[in-house]
Amino acid sequence: MKIAVVGDYDSILGFKAVGLDVCPASGADEVRAVLKRLMGDGETAIIYITEQAAACAEEEIALCRDRLVPALIPIPGREGSLGIGKQRVKSSIERAVGADIISGTIREA
Amino acid sequence: MAGTHISPTRMQLKREKARLVTATRGHKLLKDKNDELMKQFLEIVRENMKLRIAVEKKVEALHRSFTAASAAMSPEGLDQALMLPRQSVTLEMTEKNIMSVHVPVYSFHTRLAEDGGILPYGFANTPSELDDSVREAGDLLSDLLELAAKEKAASLLAAEIEKTRRRVNALEHVLIPQTKENIKIISMKLAENDRANTTRLMKIKDMVLNQAHNYE
């Protein structure tokens, strides 16, 4: 199975060198089209997506959420972290527990 | 239960009692499942949060060093240098069962095209910053993979916990009280019928005795 990285070209170039499948996409429509293709091919197990790209493809991310494959993981893009990744962890805590009881107790290492 | 009609028969009473037993057992089981899921979830999500903070820092550092590298060379040169990666990554995914929730476990293999390191370019036309950032990206791989596994597990477990909690609540606050109420209604109705029958028999006995022997 494959690991894909989605985002603007500059942010994901680095992952190309280590052998991941990079799928450059800029703009909401392009990101969505790329995600749809990756989610449909059945070969891609993990999709890393820059937070900047993740921000414009909420629907696709929600679709992946309860599925085993693929795992859509937001990572910070070149412009830095938007907090979407942490927000996702928080929201799954809220979903399970009802309130965020964890993130306050973890200090930045 | 208000609204629906239940027939006050012994048959129905038996059925409702069996339902109560099943519902109570189911409730206990689901509650235990939920507790265990929650325990596992909290463990995983705590690690997930820590890992995410660490990985985000590393990714940002990676971006910084790539920016530094790309500043030292032309965009075309950078493209060219990284165009043909020497390392390929294949991912294997197996499933782990946590309380009947299937979560992914990833393992990956990197394969180098030939001997001589991960760098896909010659040293002549590239700055040393690029070497560092490519190595950094390579080191990041296992952390990223672990993050993916933890994060997927956390979100799948969260969904399962939500589902189980709804079931527990539905049993606890709807089905079990309803069944208890039904049992109560039926047994009261049966007792009432019984009493009615007894008094009727007493009355008939009086009437029959009266007819036969003129007892008063």
Segments making up each domain of chain B, as ranges: 10-208
Roughly what angle, to the nearest 10 degrees, separates helices B128-170 and A9-16? 100
Residue A103 burial (CB count, 10 A): 16
Q: Does domain A2-79 have CATH number 3.40.50.1980?
A: no
Query: Does B49 contact A89 at a Cβ distance shorter than 8 Å?
Result: yes
Nearest chain A Cα distance for residue B175, angstroms:
23
Report the C-alpha gap between B30 and B168 in whole angstroms. 6
Radius of gyration of chain A (CA): 14
Percent with pLDDT over 70 in chain B? 94
Average pLDDT over chain B, rounded to an integer: 88
Of A3, A18, A78, the CB nearest to B137: A18
* Domain B10-208 classification at class level: mainly alpha
Residue A70 vs residues A42, A58, B204: alpha-carbon distances, Å:
8, 15, 79
Percent helix, percent strand, percent coil in chain B, to nearest 5: 70, 10, 15
Between B104, B118, B133, which is nearest A71 by CB?
B104
- When pLDDT is cut at 50, 70 and 90, the band that residue B133 belongs to is confident
What pLDDT is recorded for position B177? 96
Could you tell me which residue, A39 or B125, shows the higher pLDDT?
A39
Interface contact A48-B144, CB threshold 8 A: yes
pLDDT at B215: 65
The C-alpha angle with vertex B75 and arms to A82 and B130, in degrees rounded to 5, equals 75
The residue of chain B with its CA nearest to that of A80 is B60
Contacts of B60 in chain A (CB under 8 A): 76, 80-81
Of B50, B66, B119, the CB nearest to A14: B66
Smallest Cα distance from A36 to chain B, Å? 19
> How many CA atoms are closer than 13 Å to the CA of B176, on its beta-carbon side?
15
Contact residues, A window 11-70, toward B, CB-based 8 Å cutoff: 11, 13-20, 45-46, 48, 65-66, 68-69
CB B118 within 8 A of CB B57: no
For residues A74 and A91, what is the distance between their CA atoms, to the nearest angstrom? 14
> Which residues does chain A have within 8 Å of residue B55's beta carbon, measured at their own beta carbons?
75
Q: How confident is the model at residue A109 (pLDDT cuts 50, 70, 90)?
A: very low
Res B197: pLDDT: 96
Selected residue of B151, B163, B165, B166 to mutate for chain A interface (largest A Cβ count, 10 A): B151
pLDDT at A108: 52
**Dihedral angle over CA of A66, A77, A40, B156, nearest 10:** -10
Overall pTM surpassing 0.95 (yes/no)? no
**pLDDT at residue number B108:** 85
Question: Is residue B82 over pLDDT 50?
Answer: yes
Contact B158 A93 (CB under 8 A): yes
Q: Where are the domains of chain A?
A: 2-79
In the 8-state DSSP scheme, what is residue A99?
A: S
Q: What is the DSSP letter of A103?
A: G
What pLDDT, on a 0 to 100 scale, did the predictor assign at position B30? 96
Chain-centroid distance, C-alpha A41 = 17
A2-7 sheet: strands from edge to edge: A21-24, A2-7, A44-50, A71-75
A-chain residues within 8 Å CB-CB of B48?
89
Question: Given a cut of 90, is residue B90 above it in pLDDT?
Answer: no
Distance of CA B89 to the CA centre of its chain: 30
Question: What confidence category does residue B114 fall into, taking pLDDT thresholds of 50, 70 and 90?
Answer: low
* Of B34-48, B63-77, B168-182, the least confident: B63-77
Amino acid letter, residue B151: E
Tell me whether residues A45 and B70 touch, CB distance under 8 A: no
Tell me the backbone φ, ψ of residue B103, rounded to 5 degrees: -115, 150
Do residues B168 and B34 make contact, with C-beta atoms less than 8 angstroms apart?
yes
ipTM value for the complex: 0.88
Q: Which site among B155, B157, B168 would you substitute to test the A interface, given the most A Cβ atoms closer than 10 Å to its Cβ?
A: B155
Q: How far apart are CA B193 and CA B212, in angstroms?
A: 28
